[in-house]
Amino acid sequence: MATESALHSSPPARRRLAPLLWLGIFFWLLLAGQGCGSNQADKSAEFSRAFERGLEANGRHDDDLAIAGFSEAIRLKPDDSVAHYNRANAYSDKGDYDKAIADYNEAIRLEPDYVAAYNDRANAYGYKSDWSRAIADKSEAIRLNPHFVEAYYTRGIFYDRKGDYNKAAADFNKAVRLKLDFVEAYNHLAWLLAVCPDADVRNGEYAVQFAIKACELTEGKEGSMLSALAAAYAEAGHFDDAVKWQNKYLESDYLKSNPLNDTTEKARQRLSLYEQNEPYHEDKP
């Protein structure tokens, strides 16, 4: 019996030990919880450092380093929509539009009302000349933010590229109503109304008004505005003015600094039309 009593406590003894056992478990759980909290804090700090590295690299236009920083942030916090969005922007800046779109998709999945993600995914689709998807995303961004002036402007460009000229003109008009000093929107609207392949959309007098507004806002120092003004005057039948402003355009530095947007050869061809009292019209896409 002595051996058995040494091995087994009596019921009263077990009851006395029970509170001590539970107290020990309580302290163990408390310490374990503190450890988890510490680990979580460390992980959050690592995430913040990785995210900041991505932002800093992005500011320096170092796309690869930005992608690496945001990728590390995503590894630490896979459900962070902002990290996916910023990595998408870095991929887009690098020209890797498919990977950018994949990250925009994930950002939108995590945050369905992410206006900026819709807007920038539209731009990625635009770079791929996928006008329908680009327009759909711009439209969703506008639905979520009806005063998103840049979305109206870029959707106008996509409509123009798609050949839906009336909708393009409507979006440019909306953009300048929302932002009265929106130079690029005035210029695009003037150019569209002057050179549109669709005669029903062209309006020389309105084109001149919008082109003059763009030139006033830039004090006549932006070459591309001079080209639009020349085209507008030609469409309105004021060919002397068209020749004058096209020559000024050719004298500007714009063609040298923006060879992908226009060439001296094409600019001189337009000048030749104006000298023959003919307007310039673009071909349908």
In whole angstroms, what separates CA 128 from the centre of its chain?
Answer: 14
Q: Which pLDDT does position 221 carry in this prediction?
A: 86
Fold category of 181-285 in CATH: 1.25.40
SS3 assignment, position 164? coil
For residue range 236-275, list pLDDT tens digits in order.
Answer: 999 999 999 999 999 999 998 988 889 999 999 999 999 9
Give the pLDDT mean for 105-118.
Answer: 98
Q: Which pLDDT does position 33 carry in this prediction?
A: 55
For residue range 9-32, list pLDDT tens digits in order.
Answer: 344 443 444 444 444 554 445 555
Domain spans, the chain: 181-285
CB neighbour list of residue 189: distance below 8 Å, 6 or more residues apart: 169, 172, 173, 176, 207, 210
Q: Which pLDDT does position 41 carry in this prediction?
A: 75
Q: How does 270-283 read in b/e, with b if 16+ C-beta sit within 10 Å? A: bbebbeeeebbbee
For residue range 84-98, list pLDDT tens digits in order.
Answer: 999 999 999 999 999
Sign of CA dihedral 14, 15, 21, 22: positive
Q: Which pLDDT does position 42 carry in this prediction?
A: 79
Residue 7 banded pLDDT, cuts 50, 70, 90: very low
Among the ranges given (31-45, 136-150, 168-182, 260-274), the one the predictor scored with the smallest mean pLDDT: 31-45
Q: Which pLDDT does position 40 carry in this prediction?
A: 75
Give the pLDDT mean for 36-44.
Answer: 71
Q: Which pLDDT does position 236 carry in this prediction?
A: 98
